[in-house]
Amino acid sequence: MKDRIDEQLHSRNIKPTAMRELVLKVLTDQKTAISLPELELKFEKADKATLYRTLKTFEENKLIHSINDGTASVKYALCRESCECYPEDLHVHFLCTVCEHTYCLNDIPVPKINLPAKFRLENVNMVVKGVCSNCYT
């Protein structure tokens, strides 16, 4: 288990400190994207700033991606192995308005958009809001 974690960190050129291993472990076990405050709650006692910087490091190195789903806080989820966070790599995110969980719909790529003349595209954030299958009645 730990091996696998360290391997992941290594493959993204992130030094495997104890803290980072723990955070990555939490992120791996997570089915939905998680926010910084939520991450804090996963630990008995952990420093917000450290977690914050850990997430930033992960994001810079493309181990995770951030999602701004319109709720108060930014959420984070693991990137796929092959992800380089290019526009082609992007997928749709789904925010359930009942349970507030944010899902990565990895199989649904973000549709291509034709921008007006002289607009250059760098990135796309597409969040669908609705009710997830768990909360579906």
Partner DNA sequence: ATGCTGATGCAACCAGGTTGCAAAGTTTAT
Partner DNA sequence: ATAAACTTTGCAACCTGGTTGCATCAGCAT
Q: Which stretch binds a second copy (CB under 8 A): 4-12, 29-37, 40-48, 127-135?
A: 127-135
> Is 127 an interacting residue with respect to DNA (CB under 7 A)?
no
Q: Which listed residue (26, 36, 108, 110) binds DNA by CB under 7 A?
A: 36
CA 73 from chain centre, in angstroms, equals 12
Longest dimension (CA), the chain: 52
Binding-site member from 26, 74, 78, 110 for DNA (CB under 7 A): 74
Q: How far is the CB of 19 from a second copy (least distance, A)?
A: 26
Judged by beta carbon distances under 5 to 8 A according to partner kind, the member of a second copy, DNA, none in contact with residue 122 is a second copy
84 binds a second copy (CB under 8 A): no
Q: Find the binding residues for DNA in span 75-114 (CB under 7 A).
A: none
Measured CA to CA in angstroms, residue 122 lies from 12, 59, 66, 90 at distances of 22, 16, 15, 11
Contact 94, 128 (CB under 8 A): yes
The answer to whether 17 contacts a second copy (rule: CB under 8 A) is no
Dihedral sign (CA 79, 16, 58, 96) = positive
What is the SS3 string spanning 49-104?
HHHHHHHHHHHHCCCEEEECCCCCCCEEEECCCCCCCCHHHCEEEEEECCCCCEEE
Query: What is the DSSP secondary structure assignment for residue 43, as one 8-state letter?
Result: S
Binding residues for DNA (CB under 7 A)? 15, 17-20, 35-37, 45-50, 52-54, 56-57, 72-74
Give residues in contact with a second copy (CB under 8 A).
68, 70, 92, 94, 97, 105, 108, 110-111, 113-133, 136
